[in-house]
Structure 1
Amino acid sequence: MSLRRFATPPAPAPGTVPGAAAPPGEAAGEVCELCADPLGDRHGHLVDREDRRIMCACRPCSLLFAPDKGQRLRMIPERYRHDPGFALTEEDWIFPVRTAFFFRNSALGRMVALYPSPAGATESELPLDAWERIMAAGPAAAHLEPDVEALLVDRESGAYLVPIDACYRLVGLVRLHWKGFDGGTEARDRIDAFFAGLRERADE
C-alpha cells in the first residue's frame, strides 16, 4: 500500500516532531525514488535515517539496503506481531489519545515516543522510567529494529510490532478523517479497521 495516498502536511504545529517526516503527497505515475522505475500498488519503502524521510522503492533497490551495515538508507521490513496481553496502568499511559508508537532513532541515539494527532505525528517527552515500564509490559518491544520498526500501542487492542511506515499510515488516517474533539464516528471506525487489519497480518 503506497504511502503517497496521504497529503503532504503543512508546516509542523507546536509540539510536532522535527524530522519525523510524514509520507509524501500523492503523485501521478508513482516511481521508485532511487531508479525512477514505475511502481505498483505494493512496493517497498526505505527510511533515510538522517532526516527521517520515508521513500518509495522498487524491490531491487529495496534489497540493496536490507542488511544493516550502517548505511544512511535502510529497507523497512514487513514484520507484524501482535501482543494482545500488553498492559499498562493508567498512570503509565501519559498520552492524550488511545494510540502511540515508539522507536529507536539512531540519529538521536535514543527512543522516541509519538502519537497520531490531527496535526501529524506529535512527540511526547517520555521520561526514561516511563519507557522502561512500557518495555516491561510485553515482549514485543525488546525485538525492535532501530529506525525501521516501532512498537505501536493501542489501549483497546494491545501492542503491535510493526514496520515504521505502518505507523505513518495511521498518522495520515487520523489527519484525514479526524473531526472535532473526539474524532467523530468515521475516524473511530477507520482506526478500528486499521488495527483489525494489523491483527489479520500479525504473527501472534
Structure 2
Amino acid sequence: MTTTPLAPPVAGTGTALLRRLREPAPPRPERCAFCGLDLPSEHRHLADTEERALVCACVACALLLQQPGAGAGRYRGVPRRYLSDPRHALADADWEALQIPVSLVFLLHNAVLDRWVALYPSPAGPAESELDPAAWQSVLDRTGLARMLEPDVEALLLRRTEDGTTSCHLVPIDACYELVGRMRRHWQGFDGGAEARAELDAFFERLAALATPLREGSDEL
C-alpha cells in the first residue's frame, strides 16, 4: 500500500507565519498532455475529436500529432483566427425561436457526429442546447462565417445585446471555453449577475480588437 507523505511545516513564526498560511498556493503550471513538459500560460491546444475535448500541448507535440498518419487523425490543432460579420442580423423572434435561456451561444460542427452542436454558459459550465434544425439553419444561412468555419476547432459565437442586436463572430473553440470558465467563476443568481456580465463585456471588447470583418457584399475577408 502506498502512502502520501504529509506536507512539510511552514517555516516562520508569529505574524509572518499566519500570513503565509493564509496566502493561496501558487497555481501549478499546466503540462503538455503528451510529454508532461511545463507550459507557459499562452500555449497550443488540440481538439481530441474522439473524446470531444481540448488538450494542452507543447509546440513539438502539437506539430508531431498534426502530421499525416500521426494520432490516426484524432487530434486537430486549434487555429488562432478571429473573424466577424458586421452584416449579420437576427430579429427578436428569431432569437426566441432558438430557445437559449441566456444572451450568448456558440455553435460548432462536430465532424464525427456530422451535426451542429450549440452550447451556452451556465453556473455548471457549458450547457448543450437541443438544436431545432430549421431554427438553427436559418441562423447559419445568414452569415458566410458558417461556411468558413473549420469543424471541431472553431465556433460561431452569437451574442444578443439589450439593444436588440446580435453580434456574430468566428473564433477558436478554446476561446469559447475560456469565456465560459470565466463566467462560471463569477456567476451569481439566475442570469449570471453583474460580475459575469462584466467578464462578458471585457471579452467582447478584446474580440472587437482581434476580429477581421468580412468585406461588404462578400463572404471574403
Normalized against structure 2, the TM-score is what? Answer: 0.75
How much identity, in percent, do the aligned residues show? 49
- Corresponding residue for residue 34 of structure 2: 34
- Matched AA of 1:54: L
Sort the Cα spacing of 1:134 and 1:75 in 2 relative to 1 into closer, same or farther, 3 A: same
The 3 A distance-change label for structure 1 pair 129 and 123 is same
Displacement of 1:27: 5.9
How far apart are the structure 2 equivalents of 1:128 and 1:68? 34
- Residues matched between the structures, number: 179
Equivalent residue in structure 1 for 2:103, among 98, 107, 113: 98
Q: Secondary structure at the match of 1:176?
A: helix
Contact 1:85-1:158 at 8 Å conserved across structures = no
Q: 1:79 deviation in Å?
A: 0.9
Aligned residue type for 1:140: L
- Counterparts of 1:103-142 in structure 2 under 5 Å? 103-142=108-147
Residue identity matched to 2:172: P
Alignment deviations for residues 75-123 of structure 1 (CA, whole Å, 9 cap, x no partner): 1111111223321122222211111000111221211111111121111
Q: Following the alignment from structure 2 to structure 1, what is the Cα–Cα distance between the partners of residues 209 and 119?
A: 24
1:153 Cα offset (Å): 0.5
Alignment partners' CA distance in 2, 1:88 and 1:160: 14
Q: How large is the Cα RMSD of the aligned pairs? A: 1.9
Q: Determine the structure 2 residue equivalent to 1:5.
A: none
Query: Which structure would you say has the larger RCO, counting Cα contacts within 8 Å and 6 or more residues apart?
Result: 1
Confirm or deny: 8 A CA contact 2:86 2:167 kept in the other structure. Answer: yes
Aligned 8 A contact 1:150 1:163 in 2: yes
Alignment pair present for 1:178 and 2:187? yes
Give the secondary structure class of the aligned counterpart of 2:204: helix
Evaluate the alpha carbon distance shift between residue 67 and residue 151 of structure 1 in structure 2; reply closer, same or farther with a 3 A threshold. Answer: farther
One-letter identity of the residue aligned with 2:44 = G
Residue segments in structure 1 that go unaligned for 5+ positions in a row: 1-25
Where do 4+ consecutive residues of structure 1 move more than 3 Å? 65-70
Deviation at residue 125 of structure 1 after TM alignment: 1.1
- Report the structure number with the largest CA radius of gyration: 2
Give the unaligned 5+ runs of structure 2: 1-25, 214-221
TM-score relative to the length of structure 1? 0.81
